[in-house]
Copies of this chain bind each other. A is one copy, B any other.
Amino acid sequence: MDQIYPSVLLEEAVQAFSGLPGIGRKTALRLVLHLLRQNKEDVEHFGNTLIRLKNEIAYCKTCHNISDTEECLICSNPRRDTSIICVVENVREVMAIEQTRQYNGLYHVLGGLISPMDGIGPSDLEINSLVERLAQNRVEEVILALSATAEGDATSFYIFRKISTYPLKITVIARGISVGDELEYADEITLGRSILNRIPFKTS
């Protein structure tokens, strides 16, 4: 049963929020009522930030990560290893990998994954620009760091076929038991892969 809103403007605001992923109409109403309790200046700043976000956000011309400058801080950093490119879905994955402090190469941000269900094909992603980058630069390794989902696997496979003619190493990030997980609760596909892809024991 649809809720009846006492105000058209309220209804519009609830509709705007409930269009966001993971936010239903009940949560949307809670957020709108929260905003109504805030200062006028804060809410205006929120609204204007969203408008500026879409109009002014820029992307690095090399790796296509979100950036305030024409070339992002990672691509323009002379201390990064330019011979390795890590292919990721989005800025979120760049941030997650940067936080591990285990990687010093460059990135290539696809802007999504191939997903026929959502109407996203290879041409909607930054795949051709990756091929161009490999043609124009001396790259020794491409790491495919995409999600372990059907879409991630399909995208990895597509990219692999596109770039396998270049003389470089193509790797994927390891899949296995998460650190801290108990073995008996791991799903069988993950457990099976982690046995197949076992590595020499090292004391670190």
Other-chain contact of A53, B30, B42, B43, B53 (Cβ < 8 Å):
B43
How big is the A interface, by class? Answer: 35 or more
Other-chain contact of A6, B5, B40, B52, B73 (Cβ < 8 Å):
B73
- The reply to whether B35 and A50 form a contact with Cβ atoms under 8 Å apart is yes
A residues with a Cβ closer than 8 A to B are 1, 3-10, 12-13, 16, 19-23, 27, 29-38, 40, 42-58, 65-68, 72-74, 90-92, 94-95, 98-99, 112
- The reply to whether B3 and A99 form a contact with Cβ atoms under 8 Å apart is yes
Q: How many copies does the complex hold?
A: 2
Could you say which residues of chain B place their CB within 8 Å of the CB of A30? 21-22, 92
Given pairs A16-B50, A32-B53, 13 additional interface contacts (CB within 8 A): A6-B95, A7-B58, A9-B56, A10-B91, A13-B50, A16-B49, A19-B42, A21-B31, A22-B27, A33-B91, A40-B54, A40-B55, A46-B50
Could you say which residues of chain B place their CB within 8 Å of the CB of A37? 112
Could you say which residues of chain B place their CB within 8 Å of the CB of A42? 19
Q: How far is the CB of A95 from chain B (nearest CB, A)?
A: 5
A56 and chain B: residue at smallest CB distance: B9
